Amino acid sequence: MNNPNINMATLRVACSNCNLRELCLPLGLSLKDIEHLEELVSTRKRIKRGEALYRAGDKFDALYAIRLGFLKSAVMSSDGREQVTSFHMSGDIVGLDGLASMVYSSDLIALEDTEVCILPFDRLEELSQNMPAMSLHFQRMLSKEIVRQNGVMLLLGSMHAEERLAAFILNLSQRFEQRGYSRSEFVLRMTRAEIGSYLGLKLETVSRVLSRFSHDNLIVVNQKHVQIMDFEGLRNIVSGQVFVTNSPKNATVAIHKADAMAAPSIDSGIPGLR
């Protein structure tokens, strides 16, 4: 029975008019292909902050394209601790973790009020068979997830705390810029504890490094609002180069030890990049 409180007209999705189309759909689709997609993506779902879009163990039946909002993926350890594995924002496709065993392997939690487009997997699979561009796009999504996981391993295995946090901030900057927002000013939707969980750092370490970056005039932090003042300085930290702080109070030379292997550029495999 249909819910009388739901206006189906407002839930109808027009992919052709969506400003995120280039992020979550393959390029070069014909108008006919887009019409087929609009039939597939017929509804949206809204999730309140703190609610789960799905939980680990739920049956896998759909992928989701994030239209508005910000979410985190997390898994629970045997002793009940949460481990954040990824952050997702508008234009991202989520739910790929359910493909392996046909159940979702993580919790997907909204960090702010969020709206997603539902992509029923059985219909998506059928559509991909008749639309080569969609099939290729789906394969590329899976490949990007592998690259992201490799980036996570590199981040946690070979970078110091300062390098991890600098890479994380620059990565967010790139992702916001890709979506048409400011690359130099943005709001952190996640807590410092969640950042620490994702980066393998303690809460106190995250707070200390952010304070150091602020003291060195690399960034300005006002609660959750971040403004990047020195992109080159942050990049130098990621690459392990020597950089000179511009703090008028205490101008110092900070040396960050480079790894034996050169650190990757900020757009090659750093976790979460879309």
* Residue 261 belongs to some domain of the structure: no
* Residue 226 belongs to some domain of the structure: yes
For residues 55 and 109, membership in a common domain is answered with yes
Per residue in 6-29, is it b (16+ CB within 10 Å) or e — as a string? eeeeeeebebeebebbebbbbeeb
Structure tokens at 219: 């960034």
Cα dist. 264→34, 142, 193, 237, 244 in Å? 37, 21, 26, 12, 21
For residues 197 and 125, membership in a common domain is answered with no
For residues 162 and 122, membership in a common domain is answered with no
For residues 95 and 190, membership in a common domain is answered with no
Q: For residue 206, give the CATH number of its domain.
A: 1.10.10.10
Nearest alpha-carbon partner for 61 in 123, 136, 128? 123
Per-residue pLDDT of the chain (274 residues; tens, 9 = 90+): 344 343 333 344 455 556 555 556 555 566 666 666 666 666 889 999 999 999 999 999 999 989 899 999 999 988 888 999 999 999 888 998 898 899 999 999 999 999 998 888 888 777 777 777 766 767 777 777 777 676 666 767 778 999 999 999 999 999 999 888 999 999 999 999 999 999 999 999 999 999 999 999 999 999 999 999 999 999 999 987 644 444 444 333 343 333 333 333 333 344 433 3
Q: In what order do the strands lie in the sheet with 44-47?
A: 44-47, 114-120, 62-68, 93-94
From the CB of residue 120, how many other CB atoms can be counted at a distance below 10 Å? 16
User: Where does 8-96 have alpha helices with state H?
Assistant: 8-11, 21-24, 31-40
For residues 47 and 97, membership in a common domain is answered with yes
Q: How many domains does the chain have?
A: 2
Residue type, 104: Y
For residues 204 and 244, membership in a common domain is answered with yes
* Residue 24 belongs to some domain of the structure: yes
pLDDT, position 95: 93
Q: How many CA atoms lie within 13 A of 268 on its CB side?
A: 6
Residue type, 119: L
